[in-house]
Amino acid sequence: MEQGSLRSSRQCGRSGREPPVCATDNRTFFALRIEELADRLYGVALRFTRNRAAAEDLVSETVVKAWAHLPQLEDRTCFEKWIFRILANTFFSQCRHRREETLAAEEDEDGFSLFDRLHQPFLLWWGNPEQELINKLLCEDLDRALGALPDCYRAVVVSVDLLGHSYAEVAGMLGVPVGTVRSRLNRARSQLQRALWQQAQAAGLVRGSLDEGDAHD
Amino acid sequence: MTEQERIHCDEVVASLLEYLDGELDDARRARIEDHLAECRGCFSRAEFERALRRRLQALATEPPPDSLKRRLKAILDEF
């Protein structure tokens, strides 16, 4: 793992530094924060890996690395952002071996917009189809659409949309140019919205929808 | 804002996701915000993308299984 990724950011949290703490306080602080963040660590790990056993391994490895590098965390108010960077970095380092899938996925077209599909005059006649669809989508629908993305696309969506990382941060972690992150994100979101549209059609959640052929521009 | 500084819907659509990601510089962000304040269609589009993102963000939380809780406890006990 790149050491730079483990250094705390000075951009988040309070400006003042936390006072020096002893080893027992370190452990208590660390254990409390891990307990507080366990739901999110596991949730994000699961979205990255799509596999429960792999997600458990990823969280465990992240916790071990975070403890080892805790002395480098200068501002403890940044702990959450810092540990999720470690988690993402750990996952990305596992992904760097999957070049073939990345290259294949990047040939896909982009530009699908759920909003454009729903914002049609004949659909608007019934009310607000966009809001209606958002309300009807189940977590399971979103999870399935996210899970169907190739690893390299899902990784950037999870990093940007779920973790709030900047394009530059993701580019640094993946070792690719910012433009590559931007294009992967655009394609990923396009594929995600297409999958949601197809699921919504199959479940009868959208009225008067365009036929399947029209859904593929 | 002068007519020259105004941007049109197609430019907003092209930059909307980067705007929502906080990736635009101040000047471009301000121009998009001015447009969103006046254009109902683009405003609706931005609200839809925000709402969809909020739904996605809910996926970031999942109760850890007991096996992971036990594993984390064992790891923390070693520190």
- Interface probe with B: pick from A41, A116, A117, A199, most Cβ of B within 10 Å: A41
How far apart CA A156 and CA A167 sit, in angstroms, is 9
B1 located within any domain: no
Mutate to test the interface with B, among A83, A130, A140, A187 (most CBs of B within 10 A): A130
pLDDT above 60: residue A25? yes
Tell me the per-residue pLDDT of A129-184, one tens digit each, with 9 for 90 and over. Answer: 777 778 877 788 899 999 999 988 999 999 999 999 999 999 999 889 999 999 99
Give the DSSP letter of residue B22: T
What is the pLDDT, as a whole number, of residue A42?
97
pLDDT band at A121 (very low <50, low <70, confident <90, very high): low
In chain B, positions 15-44, which contact chain A (CB-CB < 8 Å)? 17-18, 21-23, 41, 44
pLDDT band of A127, cuts 50, 70, 90? low
| B3 in a structural domain | no
B23 found inside a domain: yes
Q: Is residue B67 a part of any domain in this protein? A: yes
Res B2: pLDDT: 58
Confidence of residue A203 (pLDDT cuts 50, 70, 90): confident
Q: What is the 3-state secondary structure (H, E, C) of chain B?
A: CCCCCCCCHHHHHHHHHHHHCCCCCHHHHHHHHHHHHHCHHHHHHHHHHHHHHHHHHHHHCCCCCHHHHHHHHHHHHHC
Domain of residue B22 covers 9-78
Question: Has residue B34 been placed in a domain?
Answer: yes
Complex ipTM tops 0.90: no
Q: Residue A103 in contact with residue A150, Cβ under 8 Å?
A: no
Domains A3-95 and A99-202 alike in fold: no
A33-70 pLDDT per residue, tens:
999 999 999 999 999 999 999 999 999 999 999 999 99
Structure-block tokens of residue A8: 């705390």
Tally of structural domains, chain B = 1
Residue B65, domain member (yes or no): yes
Residue A156 or A97, more confident = A156
Q: What is the pLDDT of residues A67-87, one digit of tens each?
A: 999 999 988 889 999 999 999
CATH annotation of A99-202: 1.10.10.10
Domain boundaries, chain A: 3-95, 99-202
The domain made up of A3-95 is a member of CATH 3.40.50.300:
no
CATH number at residue B74: 1.10.10
Whether B61 maps to a domain, the answer reads: yes
